[in-house]
Amino acid sequence: MERYRSRRVFLSMASVAGAAGVRAAAATLGDPPAVLGGKPIRKKPFSSWPLVRKNDERAWMDVLRSLQWNRRRGGAVKNFEEIWARRLGARHCLATSGGTTALWTALNALDIGPKDEVLVPPYTFIATVNVVLLQHALPVFVDTDRETFQIDATKIDERITPRTRCILPVHLGGASAEMDMILTLAKKHGLSVVEDACQSHLAEWRKQPVSTLGDAGCFSFQASKNLNCGEGGALITNNDELLAKAERFHSNGGSVGKSSTPLPHNTNGCNLRMTEFQGALLSSQFDRLEDQASARENNAGYLTSMFDEIEGIEPARMYKGCTRNAYHLYMFRYDSRAFADLPREGFIEALRAEGVHCSAGYSPLNKDKFLDYTLRSRAFRAIYSDREINDWHERNHTPENDRLCEEAVWFTQSMLLGSRGDMEQIAEAVRKIQRFGAEIRKAAAS
Ligand SMILES: Cc1ncc(COP(=O)(O)O)c(C=O)c1O
């Protein structure tokens, strides 16, 4: 609806103020962009998501008919945990109700709590930070490396204090954070590492699947994710004791028969278990993950090779150690100077009008009101003094991230599941908008 309205506004502006100019430009620049009344490059939608095949229906119906819908010993959840752990080469996988709850479980199992500081990137989904706050610890933001969109590992050291307990890097968009530096710093300062791999199924750092490099790694299987069951998550670890604590926490302090490590005490917890439906769907969807991951990689590589020839479009760079990108998102920076100063919002609107869906991505999370609200809450006030909260505010500056949030443009993973022709159309749509940048800007300004 929003898109339709904006496009209509654009069209009427173009017709009133600039129709003659657009026609004149079209004579030399070729077909005008759809946002100025031309034909859209794409009429067909990109691949829908999720994809459902016969094996998904069978898996779902088997659980339905079994009448055992909650997690049971030897059931579908256990089966998926084994499949996923094997594929990652990890010792343990604990399925959870979501990626957020997997991260929360990991921080709880590591005993992160009040007065602790956890280092997080500001360029991420809100859940990465919410889980730190749920433990009544302080999220301390490390600036972003604008070229890669990942946490800037060279800026972690300066954020470490005697209260720092954990680094929580996010493998954003499907690529890997700079894990060599992160693991070295963690070792030097005695910190734990929880990898937020919620967007990076099958991504690798130096050929090793992400989620297996730190103390724990967490995945999301929420609807948009490359491996999806609507809502779901998993905690990966090679540490027996961490698994035992996580298992108890995610099941109200009880055991679901995963861990054989006895704990010296009883624990409290929550109900964060996965259902058998989710487990069954994940195993059937898993059968296609590898092929889909290869298709995304090939198409993303091809798109990047075309974007590299377009001034003002800078695809997110990968670190050398990132040997596989899962491409949950295809992200790039847009430089309006190469598009006759057409603002990013105008570029996005014009690209959408061409049938190429895209978005502006995250806004600065570290400046979001929810943080202020939480830090002023009764619980946080009981733990932290005014001086501690003021200190936190003074350290909370991430200028590179602020800039990135004004430049970024995203495509979603399912757009990469189609043909090379799809990629050519995306690149052609961008080139067309570039040719007509001045006309689109003038139409919007008139
Ligand atoms: C980076 C990141 N972390 C955590 C999450 C939370 O996962 P879930 O939505 O499954 O709780 C997401 C989900 O979008 C995410 O993208």
Q: What is the pLDDT along the chain (446 residues), one digit of tens a residue?
A: 333 344 444 445 445 446 777 777 777 778 899 999 999 999 999 999 999 999 999 999 999 999 999 999 999 999 999 999 999 999 999 999 999 999 999 999 999 999 999 999 999 999 999 999 999 999 999 999 999 999 999 999 999 999 999 999 999 999 999 999 999 999 999 999 999 999 999 999 999 999 999 999 999 999 999 999 999 999 999 999 999 999 999 999 998 989 988 888 888 999 999 999 999 999 999 999 999 999 999 999 999 999 999 999 999 999 999 999 999 999 999 999 999 999 999 999 999 999 999 999 999 999 999 999 999 999 999 999 999 999 999 999 999 999 999 999 999 999 999 999 999 999 999 999 999 999 999 998 88
Ligand 1 pocket check: which of 105, 125, 130, 133 to mutate, most ligand atoms within 8 Å of Cβ?
Answer: 125
Q: Alpha-carbon distance 218 to 198, whole Å?
A: 6
**Atom of ligand 1 minimally distant from the CA of 231:** 10
**Atom of ligand 1 minimally distant from the CA of 222:** 10
* Helices 437-445 and 2-13: angle between axes, nearest 10 degrees: 90
Output the residue whose Cα is nearest ligand 1's atom 8: 99
Quote the Cα angle for 9-336-311, to 5°: 125
Ligand 1 pocket check: which of 96, 198, 282 to mutate, most ligand atoms within 8 Å of Cβ?
Answer: 198
Q: Tell me which residues have their CB closer than 6 angstroms to ligand 1.
A: 98-100, 124-125, 127-128, 170, 196, 198-199, 220, 222, 233
Q: Find the 312 Cα to ligand 1 centroid distance in Å.
A: 30
- Residue 8: Cβ-neighbour burial (10 angstroms; 0-12, 13-18, 19+): exposed
CA distances (Å), origin 75, targets 66, 83, 161, 173? 10, 13, 45, 32
Q: Find the 446 Cα to ligand 1 centroid distance in Å.
A: 41
The token pair that represents 69 in the structure block: 């819908």
Ligand 1 pocket check: which of 132, 220, 226, 274 to mutate, most ligand atoms within 8 Å of Cβ?
Answer: 220
Q: What does the DSSP assignment read for 136-160?
A: TPEEEE--EETTTTEE-GGGTGGG-
Q: Alpha-carbon distance 266 to 253, whole Å?
A: 7
CA distances (Å), origin 97, targets 231, 232, 274? 7, 5, 5
Q: Alpha-carbon distance 127 to 196, whole Å?
A: 10
Q: Find the 253 Cα to ligand 1 centroid distance in Å.
A: 24
Q: Are 199 and 172 in contact (CB under 8 A)?
A: yes
Residue 54: count other Cβ atoms within 10 Å of its Cβ.
Answer: 8
Q: Left, alpha or beta for 327 (phi > 0: left; psi -120 to 50: alpha)? A: left
**Residue 72, SS3 per DSSP:** coil
pTM: 0.95
User: What domains appear along the chain, each with residue ranges and CATH number?
Assistant: 2-49+289-361+405-445 (3.90.1150.10), 54-283 (3.40.640.10)
* Residue partners of 99: CB distance under 8 A and separation at least 6: 127, 196, 198, 218, 219, 220, 221, 222, 225, 233
Q: Find the 250 Cα to ligand 1 centroid distance in Å.
A: 17
Q: Alpha-carbon distance 78 to 70, whole Å?
A: 12
Q: How far apart are the first and last CA of the chain?
A: 23
The token pair that represents 102 in the structure block: 């997997």
**Atom of ligand 1 minimally distant from the CA of 328:** 16
